[in-house]
């Protein structure tokens, strides 16, 4: 079991580290880390490249978080915490990719995939809350953080294991930390509202560059 788990975690990290947003943008002659917000995730890809490429980035980043816990389910059918550990390694790989000098995204799409593979009812409930929050506020960052925080009450409601509830807590702290620049802009009233379509944002700030891409 120890070797299988170690290989699962390593493979999950390597899968998560594949920068699909950067690769898809590069295929269109765009350096995604130098345009818009500088983020490598689906939100910036959609704003810079358009709805089609942005949705493709979202799906691929989601699959990075979904596949590891599904493999974990197959290898360890009775260990829900192992499924989450595998998905969490994919989020870490996405956020600290060796292919991007250990920079990367904020992990929202991959976190959704990880939660979907670990606890589908929690993931679907959080996604519904995310959709309502985004439709109401138009702030992608705020809606994402609301959805992530909701995993704890939904996890308790659907009786996830204590290890998984603890994992949600760590994930919440990590995601909020990665969104610290967004939180500052929300407080200052300068956070851009999300719009579907191709619209290039103002260049990223120094704080965004320090934080890495989303």
Query: CA quadruple 144, 194, 109, 22: dihedral positive or negative?
Result: negative
- Strand-pair partners of 103: 97
Alpha carbon distance 189, 197 (integer Å): 22
Averaged confidence pLDDT in the chain:
88
Q: pLDDT by residue (tens digit) across 184-194?
A: 999 999 988 87
**Global pTM value:** 0.85
The model's confidence at residue 213, banded by pLDDT at 50, 70 and 90, is very low
- Write phi, then psi, for 206 (nearest 5 degrees): -60, -35
Residue 153 CB partners (closer than 8 Å, separation 6+): none
Q: Is the pLDDT of residue 205 over 60?
A: no
* Nearest residue to 61 (alpha-carbon basis) of 71, 72, 73, 53: 53
Give the per-residue pLDDT at 106: 86
The model's confidence at residue 89, banded by pLDDT at 50, 70 and 90, is very high
Query: CA quadruple 31, 37, 41, 46: dihedral positive or negative?
Result: negative
Q: pLDDT by residue (tens digit) across 45-81?
A: 888 888 899 999 999 999 999 999 999 999 999 999 9
> Which of the residue ranges 40-44, 125-129, 170-174 would you say has the lowest mean pLDDT?
40-44
Helix (H, G, I), strand (E, B) or coil at 49: helix
The model's confidence at residue 202, banded by pLDDT at 50, 70 and 90, is very low
Q: pLDDT by residue (tens digit) across 115-156?
A: 999 999 999 999 999 999 999 999 989 999 999 999 999 999
93 contacts 17 by C-beta, under 8 angstroms? yes
Q: Is the pLDDT of residue 209 over 80?
A: no
């Amino acid at each position: 079991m120890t070797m299988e788990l170690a290989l699962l975690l390593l493979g999950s990290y390597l899968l998560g580290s594949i920068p699909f947003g950067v690769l898809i943008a590069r295929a269109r002659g765009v350096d995604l880390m130098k345009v818009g917000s500088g983020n490598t995730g689906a939100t910036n890809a959609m704003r810079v490249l358009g709805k089609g490429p942005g949705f493709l980035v979202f799906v691929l980043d989601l699959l990075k978080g979904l596949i590891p816990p599904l493999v974990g389910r197959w290898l360890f059918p009775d260990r829900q915490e192992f499924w989450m550990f595998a998905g969490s390694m994919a989020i870490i790989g996405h956020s600290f990719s060796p292919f991007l000098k250990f920079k990367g995204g904020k992990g929202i799409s991959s976190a959704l995939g990880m939660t979907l593979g670990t606890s589908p009812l929690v993931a679907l409930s959080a996604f519904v809350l995310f959709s309502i929050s985004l439709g109401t506020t138009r702030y992608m960052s705020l809606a994402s953080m609301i959805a992530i925080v909701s995993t704890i009450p939904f996890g308790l409601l659907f009786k996830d294991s204590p290890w998984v509830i603890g994992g949600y807590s760590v994930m919440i702290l990590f995601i909020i930390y990665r969104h610290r620049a967004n939180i500052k802009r929300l407080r200052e009233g300068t956070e851009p509202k999300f719009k579907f379509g191709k619209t290039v944002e103002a260049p990223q700030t120094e704080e965004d560059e320090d934080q890495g891409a989303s």
